[in-house]
Amino acid sequence: MDPAPTTQALALVCIGRSVDVLEAVNQPGVELAAWQREPDPTWAAWFESLPLDAWPACRLDLAPEGTKAALDASFDACGTPRGVARDAFAADVARLVALFAGLAQAPRVRLRLDMVTGDACRRWHRDCVPLRLVCTYWGPGTQWMPPADGAEVLTRPDDEAPQAMAFQAADVALFKGCGWPGQPHEGGIVHRSPRIAGTGVARLVLVLDAAGPAPQERR
């Protein structure tokens, strides 16, 4: 049985320990919905044991029903070893693709799975897309600002911010961007990637966007 929802409201943010919390992103005024979850020990231990040059990585444009086959082909090309752990990881990614496609009303999804060792997206920013899913499978997760502090931190986008919050490995975050129908340009949660350059830390990050035209405005 899934744990009871423990939704926490931070102005325009909904966070919970049930997958159902992600549906809140379609509600007016909600700009971030996040599902807090524990990493699957099967693929968590697998990532730890894999050399970085064998970690899975790919960029795909696909229909949700083709995710598993596309991932298998991409992982083979990366030299990622086959096995139970790889299958469990691919199944989890495919689940997130299906969830995202349904919530974004997207028949096709752009998938980016990156191994990161530097400071990609290191500045505080808002996304200019309709909706974006971010899940860090390994390493420190995306940092984000409470809505009340977002505008102020954008005036110093390279600075540290002690009030910043961060997702953990395996958490699933849906960020509504300024491309969402009816969303003002200054809307959206301010966030950034954690700075890890020179630390020896690596991250494995999944990013999903809708492919094709933006969805029609929600009612």
pLDDT tens across 19-78, in order?
Answer: 999 999 999 889 999 999 999 999 999 999 999 999 999 999 999 999 999 999 999 999
What are the domain boundaries of the chain? Answer: 43-210
Q: Say which amino acid occupies 45.
A: A
Q: How far apart are CA 33 and CA 171, in angstroms?
A: 11
Which CA distances in Å does 99 have to 30, 65, 96, 152? 18, 12, 5, 33
Residue 179: which pLDDT band, with cuts at 50, 70 and 90? confident
Taking all residues of the chain, what is their mean pLDDT, rounded to a whole number? 87
Instruction: Say yes or no to pLDDT of 216 above 80.
Output: no
Contacts of 65 (CB under 8 A, 6+ apart): none
Percent of the chain whose predicted confidence (pLDDT) is above 70: 89
Question: For 108-138, what is each residue's pLDDT tens digit?
Answer: 999 999 998 866 777 898 888 899 999 999 9
pTM of the model: 0.89
CB 175 within 8 A of CB 187: no
Average pLDDT, stretch 149-172?
A: 89
CB 163 within 8 A of CB 101: no
Find, among 124, 97, 129, the residue nearest to 113 by Cα: 97
